[in-house]
């Protein structure tokens, strides 16, 4: 029986992947990677094997990856140390004899230093190159922006203020929900034919923040207006409001990426792989805001 190992299993996406796999496969075929024994308990209590490993500890990864056929490699959220961490994962997978690595990368248009999201892109591009050069069979999942982060973008008081304030211009983004990404992971982990492939994991439609404002107006009955300031004005306003600089930089960079069409690509690949249309932004927003 094939052994599948999921990294990031205590995070939002990884946990969803484990839950879906547990409905389809014997629990004995599922392994999760956790950083300490305490985090292992929620999985071992359900009969799922947990192995201790840390992206910063190469030897722990080699040990954890022994006997693993397919590795679902969720990218680290440690932007500063991510390149070294990912290097450890790829090299450990090779040394341990992992058969196939499925990596969660991201969809993009501009791969040069001029991209407003180069601070995020650089480590993903580096990891993709490492995988391709490793000799290990791989699948690269180029994830769109998560639909689930729209509430973070527009703020928890959007229905009170009636304003979406983002420097994204008229740019559009092809958002995808975590649930759909988890279904994609399960599809690739449990079927064959994905070896050395790259998939555009994006939606079949792209939406702007003006579209989001219009949808919210429709489903809540409250008039929501989209205001698109310059990046400079946006940065100044958030800084004045006490938002941490790292968060301001992240939001500004992603918004500029949206404005420049970095995430606007649409494609039917995800739909084909998961067997249904990806959840639309409208359906997601209805689920989150309709009761307000």
* SS3 annotation, 135-171: CCEEEEEEECCEHHHHHHHHCCCHHHHCEEECCCCCC
Query: What local confidence, expressed as pLDDT, does residue 37 receive?
Result: 87
Residue 95 included in any domain: yes
Structural domain range at position 63: 4-143
- pLDDT per position in the chain (292 positions), as tens? 689 999 999 999 999 999 999 999 999 999 999 998 898 999 999 999 999 999 999 999 999 999 999 999 999 999 889 999 999 999 999 999 999 999 999 998 888 888 888 878 899 999 999 999 999 999 999 999 999 999 999 988 999 999 999 999 999 999 999 999 999 999 999 999 999 999 999 999 999 999 999 999 999 999 999 999 999 999 999 999 999 998 999 999 999 999 999 999 999 999 999 999 999 999 999 999 987 6
Q: Is residue 62 part of a domain?
A: yes
Q: What is the pLDDT of residue 121?
A: 87
Report yes or no on 69 lying in a domain: yes
Q: Into how many domains does the chain fold?
A: 1
CATH code for the domain of 35: 3.40.50.720
Is 57 inside a domain boundary? yes
Residue 189 token pair: 């982990």
Distance CA 171, CA 226 (A): 12
H helices of 107-244, in order, are 118-134, 150-154, 158-161, 178-190, 209-220, 231-240
Q: Is residue 281 part of a domain?
A: no
Q: In the prediction, which pLDDT does 114 show? A: 81
Helix axis angle for 58-65 and 82-96, nearest 10°, is 40
16 within some domain: yes
Residue 61 has phi, psi (to 5 degrees) of -70, -40
Decide if 209 is inside a domain.
no
pLDDT of residue 204: 98
Q: Quote the pLDDT of residue 292.
A: 63
Decide if 14 is inside a domain.
yes
The two tokens of residue 272 are 């084909």
What's the pTM value of the predicted model, to 2 decimals? 0.95
71: which residues sit within 8 A by CB, 6+ positions away?
4, 5, 7, 65, 93, 98, 100, 101, 102
């Amino acid at each position: 029986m094939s052994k599948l190992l999921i990294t990031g299993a205590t995070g939002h996406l990884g946990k969803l992947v484990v839950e879906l796999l547990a409905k389809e496969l014997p629990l004995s075929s599922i392994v999760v990677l956790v950083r300490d024994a305490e985090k292992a308990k929620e999985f071992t209590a359900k009969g799922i094997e947990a192995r201790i490993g840390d992206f910063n500890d190469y030897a722990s990864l080699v040990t954890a990856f022994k006997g693993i056929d397919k590795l679902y490699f969720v990218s680290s959220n440690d932007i500063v140390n991510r390149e070294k961490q990912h290097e450890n994962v790829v090299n450990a997978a090779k040394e341990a004899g992992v058969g196939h690595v499925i990596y969660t990368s991201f969809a993009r248009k501009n791969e040069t230093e001029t991209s407003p999201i180069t601070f995020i892109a650089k480590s993903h591009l580096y990891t993709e190159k490492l995988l391709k050069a490793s000799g290990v069979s791989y699948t690269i999942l180029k994830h769109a922006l998560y639909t689930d982060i729209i509430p973070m973008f527009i703020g928890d008081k959007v229905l009170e203020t009636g304003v979406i304030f983002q420097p994204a211009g008229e740019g559009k983004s092809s958002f995808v929900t975590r649930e759909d990404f988890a279904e994609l992971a399960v599809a690739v982990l449990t079927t064959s034919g994905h070896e050395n492939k790259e998939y555009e994991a994006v939606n079949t439609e792209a939406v702007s923040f003006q579209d989001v404002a219009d949808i919210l107006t429709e489903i809540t009955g409250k008039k929501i207006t989209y205001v698109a300031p310059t990046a400079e004005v946006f940065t100044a306003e958030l800084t004045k409001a006490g938002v941490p600089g790292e968060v301001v930089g992240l939001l500004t960079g992603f918004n500029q990426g949206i404005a420049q069409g970095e995430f606007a690509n649409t494609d039917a690949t995800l739909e084909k792989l998961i067997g249904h249309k990806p959840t639309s932004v409208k359906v997601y927003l209805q689920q989150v805001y309709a009761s307000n």
